[in-house]
Amino acid sequence: MAQHFNMENNLKDKTARGFLWGAVNNGAMQVLNAVFGIVLARKLGQADYGLIGMLTIFTLIANSLQDSGFVTALTNKRDATHRDYNAVFWFNITVSLCLYILLFFCAPLIANFFNEPILTDLSRFYFLGFVIASFSIVPRAILFRQIKQKELAIMGLTALLISGIVGITMAYNGMAYWGLATQTLTFNLMVTFLSWLLSHFRPTFPLSEWRKSPSAWAEPIKEMFGFSSKMLLTNIFLQINNNIFSVVLGKLYTKVEVGTYNQANKWNTMGASTITGMVQGVAQPTFVEVGDDPERLRRAFSKMLRFTCFVSFPVMFGLSLVAPEFIVVLIKEKWLPSAHLMQLLCIGGAFLPIATLYYNLIISRGKSDVYMWNVIAQGCAILGSILMIHALTEWGIVQFIYNSLHLTSCIVHSIDLMVIAYVAIIILWTGIWHRFLYQEIRYPFLSALKDILPFLLIAAATMVITYFSTRWITPLPLLLIARILLASLIYLGILWLFGAKILKESIRYLLKKHNK
């Protein structure tokens, strides 16, 4: 009994440390990202961001292909050895080089698809990033498996600081989108160097195994392929889900409109990624360590869900609240058209960390097929809604509906309708994730609602109160600061008044760490 109690406490402490360093890592990274993003956005225009946005999905899909799901497979494999890591390392390098060669020769086709000739040279340079990143996949997997969030924080912040300085320097020397591309390459280069330094992983060339049999070195790959292949397909669709707008808008609209959307989505992604990174860095290793005890899994999941909601709803709803003044004050009025898109996206972004927690538990149970088909179905729903809305707009049906309802003054751009549909799907899909989670740990939907709704409702009420309490403030900088401070005080005050356990536990843990 005492041993079980000690194991439980050790796991709680490790999880809490992981959340703490995950918060430091992701929070500090997003602050730096925001600073660099503000400086670059004030210097560059929508078209510069639009060009990079058109290429992003290709790089992300290539990253998924070179990873091939083996990082998740290694994390789930309890007895992973150097041979397993080594095989995945050489596999990643081989795949990334083959992909780069393919994309190098496809660059003119990409440029023709978007009708932007400059994309030929830009894509060939930009795609070097995933080749560089392939050398860091296994070292980062080792750090992730060991919940070394402190080391990951040092690595990410250093890489971001150096790459941000490079990007700004190039942008202010007239290199525009080349500066954005070089910033990405520099970040990948620094992450690769530091991951090798901090993980102490050193690959070995499997020459002796190759002499025995050309395929002997790849036996660990074959063992993990059933799981990893599903993760590969899932990750590709996940990247498509997250970046489908850049492709659709790049084909159907101008690069300026793509840039406007990408600027809105960048701030939404930065906010959601701060919380998702905290969850992602701890959830799966923790669930794997808990093992097959359903009761412990339910307790661990419930606590993580409450913490995720405790952070996610006020942060993302708050970003939605301050989006217009945030955009104008920090990155100039030229970006104001992206503010309303940012407001919509941030509402959906509040649910992304929750989905991350759900599918991490499903993955930890070895159900990569459930994860795969769920993400594919979600991607098809998002793509279908986007194409349908565009078609209905082009055929004049949307205009006809507004006129019939006497809502002509409320007509919005078709891009707005696409984003609304995307946000609705993201929110509703939480229920579908829960259905599959229930099959694994029998965690009732009513229990999930009890964990989610209090934080959602309090955060929403906080933003409404803050909005109406600050409407009279005219100077935008003062309005921005006032809304952030007032919303923070109201949200935490309400939670304290109602005796929210997660708030008090967080304060106690932080005070304990401070006293040490």
pLDDT at site 320: 93
What is the per-residue DSSP string for 374-433?
HHHHHHHHHHHHHHHHHHHHHTTHHHHHHHHTT-GGG---HHHHHHHHHHHHHHHHHHHH
Residue 238: count other Cβ atoms within 10 Å of its Cβ. Answer: 21
Residue in 318, 356, 279, 344 with CA at minimum distance from that of residue 459: 318
The candidate with the shortest Cα–Cα distance to 43, out of 181, 161, 167, is 167
Q: Cα dist. 219→73, 91, 350 in Å?
A: 14, 11, 41
Name 192's Cβ contacts closer than 8 Å, sequence gap at least 6: 132, 133, 135, 136, 139
Nearest-angstrom CA–CA distance, 66 and 130? 8
Beta-carbon-side half-sphere exposure of residue 353 (alpha carbons within 13 Å): 33
Encoded tokens for 500: 């929210």
Rounded mean pLDDT for each run of 10 residues along the chain, 516 residues in total: 46 52 58 68 67 69 58 66 78 83 88 84 86 83 72 80 86 80 86 85 69 60 66 68 67 72 82 76 66 78 88 92 88 81 92 89 79 84 84 75 59 73 91 90 91 94 94 89 93 88 70 53
pLDDT of residue 217: 59
**302 alpha-carbon distance from chain centroid:** 22
Predicted local distance difference test score (pLDDT) of residue 1? 45
Residue 233 half-sphere exposure, CB side, CA atoms within 13 Å? 15
Of 244, 311, 325, nearest to 271 by C-alpha is: 311
How many residues are recorded in the chain? Answer: 516
What is the reported pLDDT for 13? 54
Inter-residue contact 135 to 192 (CB < 8 Å): yes
- DSSP three-state, residue 77: coil
Separation of alpha carbons 241 and 258, rounded Å: 16
**Helix 352-364, helix 255-280: angle, nearest 10:** 50
CA pair distance 331, 342, nearest whole angstrom = 14
Q: 356 phi and psi, to 5 degrees?
A: -60, -45
Q: Which two tokens stand for residue 493?
A: 């005050």
Task: Give the separation between CA 129 and CA 183, rounded to whole angstroms.
Answer: 10
Residue 18, CB half-sphere, CA atoms under 13 Å: how many? 24
Q: Which residues contact 277 (CB under 8 A, 6 or more apart)?
A: 22, 25, 26, 29
User: From CA 108, how far away is CA 240, in angstroms rounded?
Assistant: 21
Token readout for 74 is 């290694």
368 burial type by CB count under 10 A (0-12 exposed, 13-18 middle, 19+ buried) = buried
453, 313 Cβ separation under 8 angstroms:
no
pLDDT of residue 291: 64
| Max CA distance (Å), the chain | 78
